[in-house]
Amino acid sequence: QVQLVESGGGSVQPGGSLRLSCAASRYTYSSYCMAWFRQSPGKEREGVAAISSDGRTSYLGSVKGRFTISQDNAKNTLSLQMNSLKPEDTAMYYCAAAPVGGGWCSLLPQLYDYWGQGTQVTVSS
C-alpha cells in the first residue's frame, strides 16, 4: 500500500513563502507522475504542479513563476516551494501519485491513484 504524507503547511502573510514536502513510502514504480493539488471550501480540487519520473514539470497557470515542484528520488520526497504567496493560494494542499508510462504529467485529479491526507496553507494579513 502506497503511503503519502504531507508536511510544511501553515499560515503566512501575503508575499511570504512556504515549502511543502511529501514523503512517499512503498512506492516502487519506475515510471510515474507525482503532483500537488489544492482545494478550497466550495471549490473543486485543482492541480497545482506535477512532475514526471524523468523530471518534466507542469504548472497551473496562476502559479507559474511563483511555485516550483521538485523531487528527491534518493529520499522518496516530493516538494513544492511556494513564493510570493497570495490570499487566493489559501487551500488544503494534497500530494498525489500515479504509475504512468512516461511523458508529461496531467493536472487532472481523476488520473491519480494515491493521495495524502493534506496540509493546510493559509495566506492572510
Neighbouring C-beta atoms of residue 17, cutoff 10 Å: 11
Task: Output the pLDDT for position 79.
Answer: 97
Q: What is the pLDDT, as a whole number, of residue 103?
A: 80
Cα gap 109→15, rounded to integer Å: 28
- In 10 A of CB 84, how many CB atoms? 13
What does the pLDDT read at residue 37? 98
pLDDT of residue 74: 80
pLDDT at position 75: 78
Query: What pLDDT, on the 0 to 100 scale, is given for residue 25?
Result: 85
Q: Among 84, 76, 94, which Cα is nearest to 35's? A: 94
Average pLDDT by consecutive 10-residue portion of the chain (125 residues)?
A: 92 98 83 94 96 94 98 89 98 94 88 96 97
